[in-house]
Structure formats: structure tokens, C-alpha cells
Amino acid sequence: MKKTQILGLIAIAIAIAALIAIAGDASTYTDFATSIEQSNSNHQIVGTLRADQPIVYNPEEDANSFSFYMKDKKGMTQKVVCLQEKPQDFERSEEIVLTGKMQDGVFVAHHIQLKCPSKYQDEAIKTKGVSIVSNE
């Protein structure tokens, strides 16, 4: 074999090893029941905000923490304490992805990602009983 072929095979092997390492770090989505059973590890949970439950955010006391209730894809509702600043338009989110773990009966999230409705939608978006309609 030529030296360039050997170097090419080594480069491919390194690339495959890197992809396997990255794939090992990628987590799958779970639910609140699984996070209760496996409270010692981090979980990613997808769900929706329970608008009928209180959202507690007091930036004067702690600007990097707020709490709310979320319903996961399997229908279980759980109190969540998020250790980040409350995102803008949080109440308008269609879907929430949390990363964290269960602690003392509360899901403690250290990362939150929102899927918000498109600003280009023509239909009305309901937020806490208030209808927001695009005027485009």
C-alpha cells in the first residue's frame, strides 16, 4: 500500500472514532416518569407549558431561576425549576425541551429550549386567554 492510502485509512478511522464519541454524548428524549426512576442522570424532556398553573419568576430575588408546570408527551404534569433567566415570550411557546434531572420531587432544569410559533403564521395564537392575531 502507498503511504497516501495508509494516511487516508487512518484519517477515516479517526473520523469514525470521533462520530462514535459524539453519538455517545447525544441523549434521547425521555419523560418525567423515566426521570423519576433514574434521578441520578440527566434527561431531555419534551412537553408543553401548563398555562393553567402558576409561573413564578421574581428577578429581584433571583434573576437566574423561575418555576412553572409542564406536561410531557405522555401526559404527566410536573413542577419544573429552571436555573436560567426566564426566556422572552416563554408563555407563547408551543413546545419546551428541558435538560436536567429530578431532585426532591421537582425537575431541576439547567437548560431550556423553546419552540415558539412562527411570526409568519396567519392564525391566532392563544396565550392565557388573550388572542394574538398577526396583522400582516
The verdict on residue 11 lying in a domain is no
* pLDDT tens digits along 89-131: 888 888 999 999 999 999 999 999 998 776 555 455 554 454 4
Q: Which CATH number belongs to the domain containing residue 105 in this structure?
A: 2.40.50.140
Residue 132 has a pLDDT of: 42
Q: Is residue 75 part of a domain?
A: yes
Q: On the CB side of 120, how many CA atoms lie within 13 Å of its CA?
A: 0
E strand map for 12-105: 29-30, 43-49, 66-72, 77-82, 95-103
Number of domains, the chain: 1
DSSP-derived secondary structure letter, 41 = S
Q: What is the pTM of this model?
A: 0.67
Distance separating alpha carbons of residues 21 and 26, to the nearest angstrom:
9
